[in-house]
Amino acid sequence: MERVTDTAERFTDDHVLEGLDLKQVRSRVSTRRLLRAAAELIAERGYEKTTLAAIGERAGYSHGLVTRRFGSKDGLLLALLQKMVSDWMTDDILPAFQGQSGVDSLLVLVRGIRGSAAHDPTAMRALYTLMFEGLKPEPAILHERMAEIHRGGRLRMEDALNRGIAEGNVHPSVDARTTSQLVMAALRGSAYQWLLDGSFDFDGTLRALEMHIERTLRV
């Protein structure tokens, strides 16, 4: 069985290991290897078919370590979502997004997704797989978390567009709520096609979306 490698920056935050003792370093390293293994397996086979035993094996650890570290599959899911979504949004997207308004805010978001998909396609495929599996009512924790993520994304875009209209850089005829829903639909629809069809040009489609946003929304 192929084992996980520490290649993706999203799971290899070496700077946080400075100043830790050997036991703490080993704990941090094993955690990030387990999360990386979980992302790889979810991207390959989906969340439902990914087991704690398979995650441990892929990462090079025992099933018991996975259980001790996360408590349950739901516990691991929460930790993985924190790593893939919250850290990404907090570290990469939100600082740039909040510094802009209107069209520029939407472009920051789309370019951030493009950059992440190019840099670490496995993590992004895992994230989108979880999003679509979140359509099911169970596990409830995944369904609820994905609903929060989608709702939060739409509201941030809607707020950015309303600020852009008020500041005069978005056309006043634009309906901020409807437009944010349409952009979200385009992003998720593109992701769905990317997961289904390996030949689908995800990056090119998002570049076209950027140009459409620029042409139709900016004053």
- What percentage of the chain exceeds 90 in pLDDT? 70
Delineate the domains of the chain, giving CATH numbers in brackets: 9-70 (1.10.10.60), 77-217 (1.10.357)
Alpha-carbon dihedral 184, 98, 89, 161, rounded to 10 degrees: 0
pLDDT tens across 134-180, in order? 999 989 999 999 999 899 989 999 999 999 999 999 999 999 999 99
Per the prediction, the chain carries an average pLDDT of 88
- What percentage of the chain exceeds 70 in pLDDT? 87
Reply yes or no on whether the pLDDT at 4 is more than 80.
no
Reply yes or no on whether the pLDDT at 1 is more than 60.
no
* Residues facing residue 170 across a β-bridge: 218
**pLDDT for 98:** 73
Alpha-carbon dihedral 39, 43, 44, 48, rounded to 10 degrees: 80
Reply yes or no on whether the pLDDT at 21 is more than 70.
no
**pLDDT for 195:** 97
pLDDT confidence tier of residue 16, bands split at 50, 70 and 90: low
User: What would the mean pLDDT of 114-141 be, rounded to a whole number?
Assistant: 93
Amino acid at 190: S
**pLDDT for 219:** 92
**pLDDT for 9:** 44
In the block, residue with structure tokens 């769905």: 192
**pTM attached to this predicted model:** 0.85
pLDDT confidence tier of residue 8, bands split at 50, 70 and 90: very low
Give every CB contact of residue 40 below 8 A, 6+ residues apart in sequence. 4, 58, 122, 126
pLDDT confidence tier of residue 19, bands split at 50, 70 and 90: low
**pLDDT for 5:** 47
User: What would the mean pLDDT of 130-136 be, rounded to a whole number?
Assistant: 94
Reply yes or no on whether the pLDDT at 182 is more than 50.
yes
The Cα–Cα gap between 170 and 103 comes to 7
pLDDT confidence tier of residue 99, bands split at 50, 70 and 90: confident
User: What would the mean pLDDT of 5-33 be, rounded to a whole number?
Assistant: 66
User: What would the mean pLDDT of 41-52 be, rounded to a whole number?
Assistant: 95
Look at 21 and 208; give whichever has higher pLDDT: 208
The Cα–Cα gap between 76 and 127 comes to 14
Residue 112, CA atoms < 13 Å, CB-side half-sphere: 17
